[in-house]
């Protein structure tokens, strides 16, 4: 029998493992202008994309249920023409509990004017993704034709870092960070160059273990460089000391002993953090998924509750229901007898 669900007004629901809802990850598009082989996004949008008003309403419902952080993602969210309009539309929700609005982007489309427009529209933080510090590595990791294309993309992302900084996204306050996925044999030789780049720029580098999301990347455990190994390799030239993983956070944080800033590792494979996961994901076409490793199509379609004849309370109840029935902890079960089928929704569709 399904567990009973408490719909009392004002309730901030806990899931079946006692986890509260805290972060809403909203994917604005399933498409991308890159084709990183570890991600391989769709080249077309799914049908039935949410409208701007529907997205604002979903954010409002999540905030009412306890979400304090909104992360806009994709696909590549800078491809979305209504990004700035959505940022403006959600600003009033700060009075209802929304504290932090962040964006994850590959940065290739982040011009100086776009960075300023995002800041003016109310974006608090940007995380840019870059998986190498030279043309050949960037080309390999971003699915580009050759090293020259990799050099152009690298130059665009380095420029994007400057544009973001100049627009007021200050790395010293955590408002600008760099993500890098590390794959053994493909870009693990970039660990030190990436760390050096970020040390020089005083940017927090967030090293992400290569994950078995989606079904297209041919993931194998042997491709994963564990967080422990990444840290060990960086610690040798630049000693680190631990700062810990904040409750509900995804990253273990470290500080360089020589004062050159911080480093973070997202160890979803080797040290899963399902136990305090507080993230809800909404796809560009309005399907709600709690777990990043959920099966394709298993999300709850929110569109029926986003029609003009349905009330905001009905949407809230649907979201609360979904959250209160959640018990997934895929990363902790990975490889064990309880692990799900191994068929996962694609990363760029789910929004990471
Ligand atoms: N296009 C944007 C970008 O690349 O930042 C936003 C979407 S992307 C899906 C979000 C993050 O997920 C990126 O930092 C990307 O590197 C990471 N990612 C994608 N596939 C991954 C995988 N299989 N394992 C680990 N991280 C992955
Ligand atoms: Fe695009 Fe980001 Fe996926 Fe790379 S990781 S293909 S940039 S969505």
Concatenated DSSP letters of 298-318: -SEE-GGGGSTTS-HHHHHHH
Q: Note the pLDDT of residue 293.
A: 78
Q: Is 29 helix (H, G, I), strand (E, B) or coil?
A: coil
Report whether 105 contacts 78 (CB < 8 A).
yes
* Torsions phi, psi for 296 (to 5 deg): -60, 140
**Which two tokens mark 290?**
């709690």
* Torsions phi, psi for 68 (to 5 deg): -110, -10
Distance, CA of 131 to CA of 271 (rounded, Å)? 21
Identify which of 44, 25, 43 has the alpha carbon closest to the alpha carbon of residue 103: 25
How many alpha carbons lie under 13 Å from residue 296 in its C-beta half-sphere? 13
Identify which of 20, 25, 21, 89 has the alpha carbon closest to the alpha carbon of residue 282: 25
Q: State in Å: Cα 350 to ligand 2 middle.
A: 12
Q: Which ligand is nearest to the CA of 32?
A: 2
Q: Note the pLDDT of residue 156.
A: 98
* Torsions phi, psi for 42 (to 5 deg): -70, 150
**Which two tokens mark 280?**
């809800």
| Residue with tokens 């700060």, as numbered in its chain | 94
The CATH homologous superfamily of the domain defined by 14-350: Aldolase class I (3.20.20.70)
Tell me which of 71, 106, 140 to substitute to probe ligand 2's pocket, judged by most ligand atoms within 8 Å of the beta carbon.
106
* Torsions phi, psi for 331 (to 5 deg): -60, -35
Report whether 126 contacts 93 (CB < 8 A).
no
Identify which of 177, 184, 176 has the alpha carbon closest to the alpha carbon of residue 263: 177
| Residue with tokens 């380095």, as numbered in its chain | 158
Q: Is 211 helix (H, G, I), strand (E, B) or coil?
A: coil
Report whether 74 contacts 351 (CB < 8 A).
yes
Give the other-Cβ count within 10 Å of 9's Cβ: 7
| Residue with tokens 């993983």, as numbered in its chain | 245
Q: Which ligand is nearest to the CA of 34?
A: 2
The closest-lying atom of ligand 2 relative to the alpha carbon of residue 39 is: 3
What stretch of H or E contains 105?
strand 100-105
Question: Does ligand 2 have an atom closer than 6 angstroms to the CB of 35?
Answer: yes
Say what the pTM is. 0.94
Q: State in Å: Cα 313 to ligand 1 middle.
A: 33
Q: Where are the domains of the chain?
A: 14-350
The closest-lying atom of ligand 2 relative to the alpha carbon of residue 33 is: 1
C-alpha 64, offset from chain centre:
21
* Rg of the chain in Å (alpha carbons): 20
Ligand 1 contacts (CB < 6 A) are 32, 38-39, 73-74, 76, 104-106, 129, 179, 181, 208, 210-211, 213, 217, 347-348, 352
Q: State in Å: Cα 32 to ligand 2 middle.
A: 6
Q: Can you give the pLDDT of all 352 residues of the chain as single tens digits? A: 344 444 444 568 999 899 999 999 999 999 999 999 999 888 889 989 999 999 999 999 999 999 999 999 999 999 999 999 999 999 999 999 999 999 999 999 999 999 999 999 999 999 999 999 999 999 999 999 999 999 999 999 999 999 999 999 999 999 999 999 999 999 999 999 999 999 999 999 999 999 988 788 889 999 999 999 999 999 999 999 999 998 898 899 999 999 999 999 999 888 888 888 999 999 999 999 988 777 777 789 999 999 999 999 999 999 999 999 987 777 777 766 555 556 777 777 877 7
Distance, CA of 346 to CA of 216 (rounded, Å)? 8
Report whether 130 contacts 154 (CB < 8 A).
yes
C-alpha 83, offset from chain centre:
16
């Amino acid at each position: 029998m399904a567990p009973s669900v408490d719909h009392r007004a004002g309730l901030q629901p806990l899931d079946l493992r006692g986890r509260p809802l805290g972060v809403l990850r909203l994917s604005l598009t399933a498409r991308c202008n890159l084709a990183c082989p570890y991600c391989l996004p769709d080249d077309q949008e799914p049908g039935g994309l949410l409208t701007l008003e529907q997205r604002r309403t979903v954010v409002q419902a999540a905030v009412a249920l306890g979400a304090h952080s909104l992360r806009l993602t994709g696909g590549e969210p800078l491809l979305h023409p209504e990004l700035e309009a959505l940022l403006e539309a959600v600003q009033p929700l700060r009075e209802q509990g929304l504290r932090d609005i962040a964006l994850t982007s590959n940065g290739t489309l982040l011009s100086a004017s776009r960075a300023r427009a995002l800041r003016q529209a109310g974006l608090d933080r940007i995380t840019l993704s870059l998986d190498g510090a030279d043309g050949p590595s960037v080309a390999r990791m971003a699915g580009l034709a050759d090293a020259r294309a990799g050099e152009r993309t690298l130059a665009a992302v380095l420029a994007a870092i400057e544009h973001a900084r100049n627009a007021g996204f200050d790395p010293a306050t955590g408002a600008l960070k760099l993500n890098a996925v590390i794959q053994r044999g493909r870009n693990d030789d970039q660990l030190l160059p990436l760390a050096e780049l970020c040390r020089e720029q005083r940017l927090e580098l967030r090293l992400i273990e290569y994950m078995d999301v989606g079904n297209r990347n041919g993931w194998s455990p042997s491709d994963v460089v564990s967080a422990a190994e990444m840290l060990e390799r960086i610690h040798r030239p630049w000693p680190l000391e631990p700062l810990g993983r904040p409750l509900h956070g995804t990253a273990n944080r470290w500080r360089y002993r020589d004062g050159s800033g911080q480093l973070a590792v997202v160890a979803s494979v080797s040290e899963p953090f399902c136990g305090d996961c507080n993230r809800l994901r909404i796809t560009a076409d309005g399907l709600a998924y709690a777990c990043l490793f959920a099966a394709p199509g298993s999300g709850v379609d929110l569109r029926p509750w986003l029609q003009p004849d349905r009330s905001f309370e009905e949407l809230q109840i649907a979201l609360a229901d979904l959250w209160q029935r959640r018990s997934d902890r895929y990363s902790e079960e990975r490889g064990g007898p309880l692990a799900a089928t191994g068929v996962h929704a694609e990363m760029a569709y789910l929004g990471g």
